[in-house]
Structure 1
Amino acid sequence: MADVVLHAETRNEFGKGAARRIRRQDKVPGVVYEHGLEPLHVSLPGHELLMALRTPNVLIELVVDGKGSQLAIPKAVQRDPLKGFLEHVDLLMVKRGERVTVEIPVVPEGELAPGGNLLEHVLSSVSVEIEATNIPDTLTVSVQGLDAGAAILAKDLDLPKGSVLVTEEDATVLQVLAPQAEELPGDEDEDAEV
């Protein structure tokens, strides 16, 4: 089942000027890609799309004027680098049962072993091939009680049933580092005198 329903309008104008006119109407220009068909240029409601894209790999039921509804996932999103508003979005049409490759964020949970150890996120997300209607928001991994030197590899993650890991199995996702002692500025002078 789709997470969000968005109503889109087809558009025939292209280029910077047309895109600016669309954005002034609180809409976002976009392109919808479907296997074996020509790309479809659309304009999408700005606020609803922004809210939908807060969820990674959101499944969108896209209702295009005169063409019915289909399922889509975000393929690429362009944002203004300073203000953060949406400038353009590419969507990929998917069918129920179709497998897609997506990046799923990894979220650690639990407390590390005592001693001031640090948790380093080597990979913030992993690439997974999964059925389009079964994409989780995140992959949680327990770091409870891990001590310095411990590492969690991509193959250690608990993936949803029927999914296949695309990221290299031996890639380090999280690792626990021992705390680094800082040298005080006065210590160097004392060592030189001795």
Structure 2
Amino acid sequence: MEKTRDITGKKKITEKCGTDQTCIAAAEKCMGDKDAKPPVDDKMTDIEKLAAFNKCLESNGKGADIINEQDCANRPGSEGQREGRSRHFEKCKKETLGYLRGLEDSGDAAAGDIRCCFFQAIGVEMVSSDNSINLDFFRQHLKDRISNEGVLKEYELAFKDCLPRGDMCNVHGFRECVMDECIRRMQNT
């Protein structure tokens, strides 16, 4: 598990900092120094999540864009049924996220409503019942990963600056803003 986190962390750090050593040192502090808790088991299957996403499309006037399971299937090949099925579900997840990003990029106002509907339907803890960012979730997530109180304080300040980026359940925008702010602040400490 640690190996995966390190690889992912280094990739994110390289994307954000390039070869800037000050930025890299700040980003490493922001990434955390503790092993993260394993993810909680999903209570919904991927097919149930896809069905929930499609209901959100329908309720927001996008019924013509429903994603069928077969449309995002990655048929199993020589790798075996189990791996193929797993990749199939991952591809469906990418299809739903890709669809939302496309709506956002085109400026479609329905993107936020669909995202909030979907997150509420599948029980995403990062979003509160009023569709705002659940800061308590993010605070706990950080405490599970970071022991440095100085870094945690910088994140707390970043939360205030980045909260508007989380409007309409924009978890991705909020997380990116918070990480960028943490890195910026840690470079100046």
- Shorter-chain TM-score: which interval? under 0.3
Task: Name the structure, 1 or 2, with higher relative contact order (CA <8 Å, separation 6+).
Answer: 2
Query: Max radius of gyration: which structure?
Result: 1
Higher strand proportion, which one? 1
